[in-house]
Structure 1
């Protein structure tokens, strides 16, 4: 499985990414090794996740979410698919 996810950073911003190892990827973000963007905005919290069969689907959705406005991303977070790990 592949996952498209959003993290809430310590400054309130949202980071969007995709992975096939969700728990590991979140731990990398928490350790400051996940992405340049999240490195200085730790701790992060998983606030949204979607599951996909293929890498291509997850990447496509990541790109779609990244094109949304902040308010549209916030609406997604509030709407569904929130998961805690």
Structure 2
């Protein structure tokens, strides 16, 4: 029973945009930003980033759980590129919140 108590709380999830080498943005979600960025950079990520390369996170947002991250991902994908770029700029200006999770560090 103790194991189920530990898994009862929803695991935090993240929605992100990765900047590709040509300047494009790829949007996705993950429970582990650092591992997901490593996968994109190594060619084990999405087909799009395998073809276009991945430089790093342009935007990273913490969500309450997987369902919230999926909803947010869908909303971000519907935005025009100019609005996505504004989000990325604001994220940079805010000091890249949650970026430590995606910078390749253990923490």
**What band does the TM-score fall into relative to the shorter chain?**
over 0.9
| Divergent runs of 4+, >4 A | none
What TM-score does the superposition give when structure 2 sets the normalisation length? 0.75
What TM-score does the superposition give when structure 1 sets the normalisation length? 0.93
The gaps in structure 1 that reach 5 residues or longer are none
The 10-residue stretch of structure 1 (72-81 or 21-30) with the greater mean CA deviation from structure 2: 72-81
Between structure 1 and structure 2, the one with the greater Rg is: 2
CA RMSD in angstroms, aligned pairs only: 1.2
**1:44: Cα distance to partner?**
2.2
Higher helix share: 2
The 10-residue stretch of structure 1 (48-57 or 72-81) with the greater mean CA deviation from structure 2: 72-81
In the aligned structure 2, how far is the partner of 1:77 from the partner of 1:56?
Answer: 22
17, 30, 35: which one aligns with 1:24: 35
The gaps in structure 2 that reach 5 residues or longer are 1-11
User: Residues 43 and 52 (structure 1 numbering): CA distance in 2 closer, same or farther, change over 3 Å?
Assistant: closer
Higher strand share: 1
